[in-house]
Amino acid sequence: MRADPPRTAGVAEDRLAAFLADETARFERENPRSKEALQRGARSYLGGVPMHWMKDWPSPFPLVAVEAQGARLTDLDGHRLDDFCLGDTGSMFGHSPAPVARAIRRQARQGLTYMLPTEATFEAGRLLNRTFGDFRWQVALTATDANRFALRVARAVTGRRKVLVFNGCYHGTVDDTMVMLENGRTRARPGLVGMVADLASKAVAVEFNDIAGVEAALATGEIAAILTEPVMTNSCMVLPEAGFHDALRTLSRRYGAVLILDETHTLSSGLGGYGRVHSLSPDILVVGKCVAGGIPTAVWGLTPDLGARFEAYNATRPAGHSGMGTTLAANPMQFACLCATLSEVMTPEAYAHMDRGAKRLANGLATVIARVGAPWHVVRVGARVEFICAPGPLRNGSEAARAHHPRLEGAVHLGLLNRGSLIAPFHNMMLVSPMTRPRQIDRLIAAFDATLTELFA
Ligand SMILES: Cc1ncc(COP(=O)(O)O)c(C=O)c1O
């Protein structure tokens, strides 16, 4: 009797290897100009590219982009790709939305950075409150910075040291959050470059959806803040179970910790983000990436109560550097683009279009998965869709880590890319923008069908 061949998430290893070899050869054959440009330019950059993540695409080398409009990206070899990566959320509302492009042109004639407010600054504040609720805002350049500053405020007002994060989370390159759970203990993640701090002295990792674990950590009295996404979007997609967010709110109040919601990715949920759609009430709200239509901007807002607590603290601290802020933050270009995005791009109509398209995409992918009999599933959070190469639902970061199959996922990504659809490199994430057309969605579903048909043949 012949033994079954080894399989990864239902795909036979020999089939996966053959598929990868074919798709890699096809990619190399069809992208000679990108390859040549990368080779020509590589000497100037550490590791060959200006940002090391550019080498994390599953293709043999990254494509060199020429331009992007709406939900279309053109590369150096002339391929017009349907873009579902959308700059990993930076362009979730489409590339260069017209109102944002107009605002950039206007502001470019009026100066780029002054370290002074403009009238648009105050209009943006009004629009932020209208969109997200009653918060007292600060503006940063990246969501990483916004989270970093929010944590400082939480530590300052509570006088406590530690942040509670969920195993498998990602909140940007914030040192304090780069921890994981291993055999029930918090430790630094492997691979951190140049790390000298003992991260376990500043953070506690708990599994998502583990209310008892959260309470046990809070009961130590050491936790200044819980920092969480409403949905874990960075290790597959892990949805909150019923009652989880209510428990976080109740427990954080009971034990005096600040509740920080990072909505950088879950802004896909609907107007105002997941928290607004689901009536959550964080103490600090963080939103980054696409909040100003693709111009580097993040906002972080404190409830009026927490704002008052921070002002009281601030009045008593000694003069000197606060450890928060960067020179170009809150520049006039950011406010011009915030106003344009919040008033003309992030509209109920745009979200309705995104939601319809994402539903069409999720249904199409799920139908393909069922047809080939893959033990996979699809998760959707508004405009954000992810296929996961394991049965679901996943409950937490540990389950999500076990559901990852990087070689297989890379093969699917490459199969899609060779057939004209670009999806996010780090996970199996696809975004539907207000500018994404139904036929682009149908092409992605067809490419997924063709790829899985080969892999599961
Ligand atoms: C939830 C979340 N927060 C924060 C960040 C950091 O964003 P940035 O890299 O723009 O600082 C990311 C990035 O992926 C994220 O997913």
pLDDT digits (tens, 9 = 90+) for 297-331: 999 999 999 999 999 999 999 999 999 999 999 99
Q: What is the pLDDT of residue 85?
A: 98
Q: What is the pLDDT of residue 196?
A: 92
d(CA 129, CA 136): 8
From the alpha carbon of 296, which atom of ligand 1 is closest?
10
d(CA 269, CA 341): 16
Q: What is the pLDDT of residue 426?
A: 82
d(CA 5, CA 456): 13
| Closest by CA position to 157, among listed 286, 260, 262, 263 | 260
Q: Are 64 and 33 spatial neighbours (Cβ–Cβ below 8 Å)?
A: yes
Q: What is the pLDDT of residue 2?
A: 67
Residues with CB under 6 A from ligand 1: 142-144, 147, 170-172, 229, 234, 262, 264-265, 288-289
Q: What is the DSSP letter of 86?
A: G
* Antiparallel, parallel or unpaired: β 384-388 and 429-431: antiparallel
From the alpha carbon of 266, which atom of ligand 1 is closest?
1
Q: How far is the CA of 129 from the centre of ligand 1 (A)?
A: 22
Q: How far is the CA of 362 from the centre of ligand 1 (A)?
A: 24
Q: What average pLDDT does range 112-116 have in this prediction?
A: 97
| pLDDT classification of 276: cutoffs 50, 70, 90 | very high
Q: How far is the CA of 267 from the centre of ligand 1 (A)?
A: 12
**Whole-number Cα distances in Å, 136 to 130, 154, 317:** 12, 14, 20
| Nearest CA owner, ligand 1 atom 14 | 172
| Nearest CA owner, ligand 1 atom 9 | 172
pLDDT at 1 over 70: no
Q: How far is the CA of 172 from the centre of ligand 1 (A)?
A: 4
Q: How far is the CA of 350 from the centre of ligand 1 (A)?
A: 23
> What's the pTM value of the predicted model, to 2 decimals?
0.97
From the alpha carbon of 89, which atom of ligand 1 is closest?
14
| pLDDT classification of 3: cutoffs 50, 70, 90 | confident
180's tokens: 């994981």
Query: Could you tell me what percent of the chain has a pLDDT over 90?
Result: 98
Predicted confidence (pLDDT) per residue in 67-105, tens digit: 999 999 999 999 999 999 999 999 999 999 999 999 999
| Closest by CA position to 271, among listed 347, 368, 337 | 347
